[in-house]
Homo-oligomer: A and B are copies of this chain.
Amino acid sequence: MSHIHTIEKQTGKAFILNKGDILTVTDPVGMQVSDMVLFNRHDHGEKLSSGKSLDFEESILLTTGNFLWSNRSRKMAKIIEDTNGRNDFLLAPCSKETFEIMYSHEGYHPSCLENLTKNLEPMGLSQDEIPTAFNIFMNVQFDASGKISVLPPTSKAGDYVKFEAMMDLLVCLTACSAEDSNGGTFKPIQYSITPSS
């Protein structure tokens, strides 16, 4: 059985996947979002692109059977299982400015952008290079007028999404730090990697 890694609340972790590896991202408690960004491990100029993924998949809502695409129009990962079925690919990772601008928060606040940056800087990446993340378990609703609402995740304890790596990847995952995205409390995220056979 593959080792289960825990990302403590309001933190993040970076790791590598080989082409063909299966990554399982689990919400161990329920109602917790995980932002995920992907880079071509051998050339960080190639990275996850929400704009390319939504275009090629012809959908705003990506789940089992959909692919995540790069800015160079190549498949980076395939979603092979999704027990919850609601993820977001519209909104950029929360940043300290998110809390100032959207919530009038004053002073320091942990954020996904900080946690992605902290874990990707040792790999030679800068904050400006971090793209819009694939927000696993994030429940962003929209109506025909385009109006967006962030609701608590529908994920329950043990829900997971499985991804197959379509190329050698550098991955960074967070346990999201935004109150409104996580039903008001902060929980850990878990992941495991099953090597390609």
Contact = CB atoms under 8 A, between A and B. Distances in A.
A113 B33 CA distance: 32
Interface residues of A, number: 40
Task: Say whether chain A's binding surface is mostly helix, strand, loop, or mixed.
Answer: loop
17 contacts: A47-B128, A49-B132, A50-B132, A51-B90, A51-B93, A51-B131, A54-B91, A55-B91, A55-B102, A60-B90, A60-B142, A60-B146, A60-B147, A61-B146, A72-B97, A73-B98, A142-B142
Interface of A: 45-47, 49-52, 54-56, 58-61, 71-73, 90-93, 95, 97-98, 101-102, 126, 128, 130-133, 142-149
Given A59-B145, A143-B144, 4 more contacts: A51-B91, A55-B102, A56-B101, A58-B149
